[in-house]
Structure 1
């Protein structure tokens, strides 16, 4: 994966430089190569902890689940906002115990939860409990099961 990073990123940055400058002059090509290599080296120093994903095929069903959940949540939140009734929804906070410890997996979980309308990642406590705000908190056990089984378990299989 590291080799891919050091080949793809400089090539992408070099092409981007040429496209933005709209020039194929020798000076722009030389400057583009130098900047692409330097930015790649500098960016690698900013990430001391590298991800080591395993079983990447598990990411496909996770992606499909997240996409379906985002679509369903958009529809549900849209209905709540466009047709507001005081007793239709009950916002609230829940604490979800997490077993995942990998920082990359936790970051992915934070993105998934935040991308889904109606939910916001609030905090991760020292004892690894996720504090989640939910726009429509009907059943706390359903939310805990959803996050643990549908998101956390596949992310643990990928990152741990």
Structure 2
């Protein structure tokens, strides 16, 4: 599911002589691992495709802000939610494994400030239409450039 409880997971990096022990709350995704590890290994990224990962080595080694500012939460080929900075808008919500609710499409997305409400309990969309508009613009730009692949899980039983 696309709620933070299903998406927000800890990641541990260990390199005693290179990474200072710390808890870093910067944004990153598994998509950033390939890009980061390629940079650390000195391997150039492919030039024949768009890469959706960011190099997080500055965040790991120098505690600089993450270059990742946005995340798109897909379930199969459907966009369920989008995050811009601390804010996450849900267009569709649905539980998983028979728990946490049926699929619900939100005509007006529900909005959460994850820095203040990581449990996504308090919808602030009505009081922040400008943030929803910013996220909507970001989503439209993303979708205008997206080349959707085949849903490889669709035929799974």
For the criterion TM > 0.5, the same-fold answer is no
Where on the TM-score scale, by shorter chain, does this alignment land: which range?
A: under 0.3
Highest Rg: 1 or 2? 1
Say which structure is richer in strand. 2
